[in-house]
Amino acid sequence: MQNRLFTLLIIVLFIAGCNNEVFKSKNRTLDISYHVNKKDSIQPSYQVAIWLEKPDGAYVKTLFVSEYLSYGGFFIPNICPDWTVKACWDKVIKEEFDAATGATPLVGDRIFEFNCFEKQIPVGRYKYLIEVHIIEDFNELYTGEIEIADEENESETRVIYLPEKHPKASDILSQVKVKYHK
């Protein structure tokens, strides 16, 4: 009888410990914020895709994609071409589509809070990418690395102009910040 009680106690403590660990992991958050700049000289499309890759460039997951882009804009080869090639969006399941699709960000401040537990982002090191379509063939790709782990951290972002800087509308985004916290 004592062996059974001892075994039961061990099981209860184990389950309680596991639940605590699950609870902790539910609070992990990846925050991405930026300011969308107004450009008077042209009318940018402001189509946006945000996704994660492993450091070796292997695609992991789309975190956000603007509605027009998600509902068929991805078939237009010059709108967010890096995301289009990586995401294979025409093959995603409805749940993934619904979880990532949102309104096209307009001019002003934008804040995205991605719960790592809900988005099924395990602990690890990631490359994040924010691709913004400007107009015609012009896109901007904001990128950096972030670690989802025990320690909170922030990342520095750099911008790549695709195929080059637009002469009238470069730096569609400013104040790009990517933080991990728990």
What is the average pLDDT across 141-159?
A: 95
1-to-10, 14, 34, 166 alpha-carbon distances in Å: 14, 20, 62, 77
List, edge to edge, every strand of the sheet that includes 124-135. Answer: 101-102, 59-66, 48-53, 124-135, 138-148, 158-162
Domains of the chain, by residue range, sit at 29-181
pLDDT attached to residue 22: 35
Q: End-to-end CA distance of the chain, in Å?
A: 42
Answer yes or no: are the C-beta atoms of 155 and 69 closer than 8 Å.
Answer: no
What is the average pLDDT across 155-165?
A: 96
pLDDT attached to residue 17: 44
pLDDT attached to residue 137: 95
Compute the distance between CA of residue 25 and CA of residue 117 in angstroms, rounded to an integer: 6
Is the pLDDT confidence value at 170 over 90? no
What digits encode the pLDDT tens for the residues 72-123? Answer: 999 999 999 999 999 999 999 999 999 999 999 989 999 999 999 999 999 9
Q: In this predicted model, which residue has the larger pLDDT, 46 or 170?
A: 46
What is the average pLDDT across 35-64?
A: 96
Strands 101-102 and 59-66: parallel
Confidence at 126, pLDDT banded by 50, 70, 90: very high
Q: In this predicted model, which residue has the larger pLDDT, 49 or 14?
A: 49
Answer yes or no: are the C-beta atoms of 106 and 67 closer than 8 Å.
Answer: no
Give the rounded percent of residues in the chain with a pLDDT score beyond 90: 80
109-to-4, 38, 119, 174 alpha-carbon distances in Å: 59, 11, 23, 9
pLDDT attached to residue 26: 79
Compute the distance between CA of residue 35 and CA of residue 175 in angstroms, rounded to an integer: 6
pLDDT attached to residue 12: 43
Tokens 């699709």 belong to residue: 101
pLDDT attached to residue 15: 46
Compute the distance between CA of residue 182 and CA of residue 166 in angstroms, rounded to an integer: 38
pLDDT attached to residue 4: 62
